[in-house]
């Protein structure tokens, strides 16, 4: 029996051709079997999926396989692996042509479906009609559009048409919430995350998956998200910015969290921004009492580390509402609130507690001292 042949596949090949550092490397094994992989020391992943981890690198090695649709959704597949399954057959089941290329150990490119040509043309095009059997591919295509938008990539018209047909057939309704959120969070971390939602709107999936963002709400939401990206915001801050521009962000976040497993940190920051951003813009006119009240509502005195993220979201919201372009400059409301927090946290609460007595008297004395410290810091008469 011939020795199995191993090929680098998928994103690693794509990124090499784009002169990008691959995020990870995946391999396909042609002519092998589960017994061969286990005997060679590879560790199986799961019971029914033909993927193994390399004993040293922990990179994924998958047996060449074909698949057959058996039920709605992305779980509804039967996989077939056998030594006679060819590399071309394995690549044919992949989503996009740019992800359906392989490379041998000598660096030779195997590209039976035109991936290199589509890379050069900046096209995200499906490999075959099998694309339509897996609704996750709608999300993945939108995410790749967001990642490669700086290189002027676009979804091929025929692929967008197929995505629309999938939505109309109800395929996206079979998506599980965990996978929808996983792809959403990954998309938010891409270089141009707004493109992810634009592509989903273009194929009709946005209305099904994120109804809070549909219609007239999408434009302002994406404008705020784009400003957050320009401010180098982290992923939780980007999500909060996306929700902040909606008519009722707190209600929208609650509705989305009922359907999707939005992490607690994302949800809390977004809800906090929804309640406090409108008043944050007025910080320049706030006196010491109102600055302290805002910081208390933000829980910034107990958790000062959360203020930076909250102010980033508020700044993004301000820039979006005023249609700011270009690089960001220091934002006076943020500087004033940071100044107020620094003054309040310098108050020696232990010493006050020792002098003030018990219970409410301590809390009142500490608050009065913080208010006085803020007033001194901002030059309040």
- Helices 194-203 and 157-168, packing angle to 10 deg: 70
pLDDT (mean) for 95-109:
94
Whether the pLDDT of residue 266 is over 90: the answer is yes
Residue 359, pLDDT > 60, answer yes
CATH assignment at residue 101: 3.30.460.10
**Does residue 87 lie within any of the structural domains?**
yes
> What pLDDT, on a 0 to 100 scale, did the predictor assign at position 343?
94
- Model confidence at 66: pLDDT above 90: no
Counting the structural domains of the chain, the total is 1
Distance in angstroms (rounded) separating the CA atoms of residues 153 and 95: 16
- For the cut 70, the answer to whether the pLDDT of residue 325 exceeds it is yes
For residue 116, give every residue at least 6 positions away whose Cβ sits within 8 Å of its Cβ, in sequence order, or none.
17, 101, 109
Is 58 inside a domain boundary?
yes
Instruction: Say what the pTM is.
Output: 0.89
Per-residue model confidence (pLDDT) at position 330: 78
In a domain, 358, yes or no: no
Asked if pLDDT for residue 47 goes beyond 70, the answer is no
In a domain, 280, yes or no: no
CA distance 185 to 201: 17
Angle at 292 between CA 291 and CA 297, to 5 degrees: 100
Does residue 171 lie in a domain region? Answer: no
Is the model more confident about 381 or about 268? 268
φ/ψ (deg, to 5) at 219:
-55, -55
* Domain-located, residue 140: no
Neighbouring residues of 56: CB distance < 8 A, sequence distance ≥ 6: none
Q: Is residue 103 helix, strand or coil?
A: strand
Q: Which residues, including other chains, have CB under 8 Å from residue 15's CB and lie 6 or more apart?
A: 21, 22, 23
The per-residue pLDDT for 158 is 97
The pLDDT tens digits of the residues spanning 294-319 come to: 999 999 999 998 899 999 999 999 99
Mean pLDDT score, 61-81: 68
Q: Report residue 50's pLDDT band, with 50, 70 and 90 as the boundaries.
A: confident
Q: Residue 78: is its pLDDT beyond 70? A: no
pLDDT at 5 over 60: yes
The answer to whether residue 38 is domain-embedded is: yes
Give the model confidence (pLDDT) of 178-235 as tens digits: 999 999 999 999 999 999 999 999 999 999 999 999 999 999 999 999 999 999 999 9
Residue 121 has pLDDT above 70, yes or no: yes
Averaged over 237-251, what is the pLDDT?
A: 95
pLDDT, position 19? 92
Lookup result for tokens 């995505």: 163
pLDDT greater than 60 at residue 352: yes
Q: Structural domain of residue 14, as residue ranges?
A: 1-121
Residue 335 located in a structural domain: no
Residue 319: its pLDDT value, please? Answer: 93
């Amino acid at each position: 029996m011939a020795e199995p042949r191993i090929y680098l596949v998928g994103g690693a090949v794509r990124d090499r051709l784009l002169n990008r550092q691959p995020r990870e490397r995946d391999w396909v094994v042609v002519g092998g079997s589960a017994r061969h992989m286990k005997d060679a020391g590879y560790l199986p992943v799961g019971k029914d999926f033909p993927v193994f981890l390399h004993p040293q690198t922990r990179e994924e090695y998958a047996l060449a396989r074909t698949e057959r649709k058996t039920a709605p959704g992305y779980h509804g597949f039967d996989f077939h692996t056998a030594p006679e399954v060819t590399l071309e057959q394995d690549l044919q089941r992949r989503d996009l042509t740019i992800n359906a290329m392989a490379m041998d150990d000598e660096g030779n490119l195997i590209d039976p479906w035109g991936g290199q040509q589509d890379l050069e043309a900046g096209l995200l095009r499906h490999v075959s009609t099998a694309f339509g059997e897996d609704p996750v591919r709608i999300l993945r295509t939108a995410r790749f559009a967001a990642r490669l938008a700086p290189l002027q990539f676009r979804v091929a018209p025929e692929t967008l048409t197929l995505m629309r047909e999938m939505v109309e057939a109800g395929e996206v309704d079979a998506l599980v919430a965990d996978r929808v959120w996983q792809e959403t969070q990954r998309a938010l971390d891409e270089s141009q995350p707004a493109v992810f939602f634009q592509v989903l709107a273009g194929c009709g999936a946005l209305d099904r998956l994120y109804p809070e963002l549909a219609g007239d709400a999408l434009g302002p939401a994406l404008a705020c998200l784009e400003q957050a990206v320009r401010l180098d915001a982290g992923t939780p801050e980007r999500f909060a910015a996306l929700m902040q521009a909606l008519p009722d962000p707190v209600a929208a976040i609650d509705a989305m969290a009922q359907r999707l497993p939005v992490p607690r940190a994302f949800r809390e920051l977004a809800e906090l921004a929804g309640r406090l951003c409108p008043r944050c813009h007025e910080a320049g006119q706030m006196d010491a009492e109102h600055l302290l009240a805002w910081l208390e509502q933000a829980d910034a005195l107990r958790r000062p580390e959360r203020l930076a993220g909250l102010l980033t979201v508020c700044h993004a919201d301000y820039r979006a509402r005023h249609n700011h372009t270009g690089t960001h400059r220091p934002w006076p409301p943020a500087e004033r609130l940071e100044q107020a927090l620094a003054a309040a946290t310098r108050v020696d609460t232990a010493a006050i507690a020792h002098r003030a007595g018990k219970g409410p008297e301590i809390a009142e004395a500490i608050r009065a001292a913080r208010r006085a410290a803020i007033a001194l810091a901002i030059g309040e008469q």
